[in-house]
A = this chain, B = another copy of it.
Amino acid sequence: MSLQPFEFGYQTNIFSGPQSSSCTDCAFSRNNACSRFLLSDASPQQLRKTARFRAARQTVIHAGQPTDGVLVVCEGWAARFIQLRNGKRQLLSIVMPGDFVSALSVYEPDLNCSVQALTNVKFCALDRNMLRTQMQQNMALQSAWARLAAAEQKAADLHLVDLGQRTATERLAALFMRIIQRNEQRGTATEPSIQFPLKQQHIADLIGLTPVHVCRMISQLRARKVCDVREGWLTVWNRDELEQMAACR
C-alpha cells in the first residue's frame, strides 16, 4: 500500500493534525459514514486499496476518467462538479470527511462528473467488489449504504429546489444551514463559528450565481448582523434569522 507524504504547496488544510495512513488511526473514523458503516466491520485494511492526497484547487478526478474504486474523502473538503465548455461550471455537492464521493459508485464506476479539492484533501479508494460482497452478506451494511445513497438524492433534490425556486439570499442561507447541519450530524462542534473553506467563487458555482453577486449578498447578511463568511470561517450571529431565511418547506 503506497502512501507518499505528499508535499502540499502551502498550508490551507483545515485539518492540521498529522496525516495518518491507516483508517483505524483516522481522526474521523469514529463518527462518520465511511468508517461507521463500512470500515469498522471487517478487514478494513484489505478493503482500502490506496490513499492519496491532493492539494487545494487541484482536480481530484476528471470527468470520464474511470475510478479505480469507491472514493471516500478522509480529510479535507472536495466538491463534485460539472464543467461546461463556455467556462461555467456547476458544483453538484460538497464532499466532507468520511463521505463517499458518490454512494452509487459502489455499483457504477463512472462518475460522470469531476471532483475538485476545496482544501488539501486525503482520499482513498475502496475495493468495489469487496465492498459489494460485504454488503451482500451483511444486511445492516446494505441498508446503511442505502441510507447514504438516499441522503445524497435528497440533498440533490433540495439543491434543485434552491436553484429553481429561491432568491440569492435564500440560497445562501440554505447553503450555510446545510453545512451547519452536516457538521452537527457528524458531531463536529458548532460553535458560533465553524470552518468553511469555500471561496466566494465556489459558493457562486454551487448556488448558481456570480461571485460578484455572492459577495454583495454576503455583505448584506453581514450588514444585517445575521452571519459572516471570512477567511475560511462561517460565523453565525443570529441563527434563528438564518434558519428562517433558509426555511424551505
Contact = CB atoms under 8 A, between A and B. Distances in A.
Interface of A: 80, 82-85, 88-90, 92, 102, 104, 107-108, 110, 112-113, 136, 142-143, 146-147, 149-150, 152-154, 156-161, 163-165, 205-208, 247-249
A146 B90 contact: no
Nearest to A110: B150
Contacts of A157: 80, 82, 92, 112-113, 156
Given A104-B153, A150-B104, A153-B153, A85 B160 contact: no
Contacts of A149: 104, 107-108, 149
Given A84-B248, A89-B165, A136-B136, A108 B160 contact: no
A152 to B, nearest CB: 8
Contact of A159 (B80, B158, B160): B160
A164 B113 CA distance: 15
Nearest to A150: B108
A85 B208 CA distance: 22
A249 B82 contact: yes
